[in-house]
Amino acid sequence: MPEFLYLASQSPRRRQLLLQIDVRHELLLPGADEDSEALEAVLPGEAAADYVQRVTLAKLAAARARLLQRALQAAPILCADTTVVLGGRILGKPADDEEAAHMLEALSGQTHQVLTAVAVVEGPHAAFEPQLRLQVSTVRLCRLTSDEIVRYVASGESHGKAGAYAIQSQAAAWIEHIDGSYTGIMGLPLFETAQLLKPLGWQF
C-alpha cells in the first residue's frame, strides 16, 4: 500500500472524507500562476456528466504536471469535481451572494441532481492513464422562504459550493429526499473512491 496520496483539492470536506476511510494524504494545490477557474468553464452545449468528468481529468492532469514541476515525492494523485444540475442547467459555484440566492430560489421545492466525478492516477512518472468514476445522486429540497434563503446566504455557506449549498451545513434541514450517495453529494463518493484505490494497494 502506498504511504499516502496527493489530494488535488482545496475542499476541507474531501480531506475529512479521506480521513474517515483512513487514507493518509497531502495537499497538492495550484500555484499562483495557475488559473483554476478557467478549467471549470462550461463548454457550449456540454452535458453535465461530460462536464464534470472533463473538469476532473483536466484538474488531475494539471496536478500531475504540478507534482513533476515541484519534484515532490512520487505518490498517487486523487482529484474530484462536483456539480449540481437542475433541469439540464449546470449550477456551479456562485460568483456572489446575489447569484447564490438565485440558485437557491431555483432549487426551492425542486428535485435536482448532484454529480461528482473522482479520478486517480498512479503516479507522475508512469503514462497518464487515469481511472475515473462518476457518481450521480438525486436530491429534493423543500420549498424555501425568502427569509431562509437570505439567512443562509448571509451565513457564508454558499461560498464556493456548487448549487450554492452544502449538504453537511444547516441546509440539511431542507432536504426532503436523497437517492444516491451522501458522501458523493458532499464532494467525494467514498464507495467509488475506495474502488479506485483498492487496485493501488489500499485495503478497506
Catalytic positions are 81
Closest CA to 36 of 81, 86, 91, 89: 81
For 142-198, strand residue ranges (E) read: 175-179
Q: Which of 183, 167, 202 is nearest to 17 (CA)?
A: 183
Rounded to whole angstroms, what are the CA distances from 130 to 58, 60, 123, 168, 197? 11, 8, 10, 29, 12
Residues 6+ apart with CB under 8 A from 202: 1, 2, 23, 194
> Read out DSSP for 80-98?
EEEEEEETTEEE---SSHH
How are beta strands 111-121 and 5-7 bridged, if at all? unpaired
Contact (CB, 8 A) for 14 and 188: yes
